[in-house]
Amino acid sequence: MAVNSPALDPEVAAKLQRPLSLAYTAWYCEENIYHLLSQLTLDRRTVGQLYAVFLSNPNRQLPLWCQKSGDDSHNGFICYDYHVIALEICSDKQTLVYDFDSLLPFPAKWDAFAATTIPPLPPSLRLDFARYFHVIEAATFLEGFASDRSHMKWPDGSWKAPPPPHSCISAKDGCNMNLESFISMQPINEQGSTVHGQLMNEEIFIKWVLAGGQS
């Protein structure tokens, strides 16, 4: 699929080529994004606002394309229960997407990601497979996220996928596991607020990104 991208300003374009030394473990997208945002924040290598974004829906059936673990014969299609990416919103239409599991460059331009990874779903799929986006500011995510990796174990205690070599992540308040509260696509009010951030449907999320992160 051809993607016509607007020109990026020089500073943002340079970021597409910057080297990043990052830990990656397949099937642990939330931890990959946590450590990415931690490094970007500490290194101060950003020119925009950083966010963690959890993608899912109430059915835990999330259709994405252009994924490394996806079906090569169907443009990298895969149906996750959830996925996690990072956004860096630099200015209107100059947003970078960090998706460790994407076939796109890392980071990718927003328009390429939108066209290839979250293309519009046909009407017949929108009821059961509609994508929702839980947007959390990076600082909030880094302070509040916790995972003891228990969701990646079978009932007999064996791993569903080999765990990362680093220690489990605990929240600043001492919590050891709250992953479900980030994956949950249930807001706490009619405005879409959550305990950690903001829940958006796909239409609202895309408009929010294109508006430079402004509601």
Mapped onto helix, strand or coil, the DSSP state of residue 199 is strand
Mapped onto helix, strand or coil, the DSSP state of residue 147 is strand
Is the peptide bond between 107 and the residue preceding it cis, with omega within 30 degrees of 0? yes
DSSP state of 150: G
In whole angstroms, give the CA distance from residue 29 to residue 213.
23
Catalytic residues: 29, 83, 99
Q: Is 106 exposed, middle or buried (0-12, 13-18, 19+ CB in 10 A)?
A: middle
